[in-house]
Amino acid sequence: GGYSIFGNVTKGLGIVKALAQAGVSGGQADGPPAQPVSILGVTIAKV
């Protein structure tokens, strides 16, 4: 909870899966990433 969904992944799903495999903070089933994650770029496209 507490996270906003603001789009969908159209490329790079492997990166998303790698982040998920790294686990979450505190070893819980859900929560913030175990290591900090930075979004360095975003592309917004009208479809």
Residue 18 tokens, joined: 């790698």
Q: What is residue 47's predicted lDDT score, i.e. its pLDDT?
A: 76
Query: What are the structure tokens assigned to 34, written together?
Result: 């175990």
- Give, for all 47 residues of the chain, the pLDDT tens digit: 566 677 778 888 898 888 888 888 887 878 888 888 888 888 888 87
Q: CA-to-CA distance for 23 and 35, rounded, in angstroms?
A: 8
- Give residue 3's pLDDT: 66
Residue 1: per-residue pLDDT: 58
How far apart CA 33 and CA 36 sit, in angstroms, is 6
Domain segments of the chain: what residues?
Answer: 1-47
CA 12 to chain centre: 11
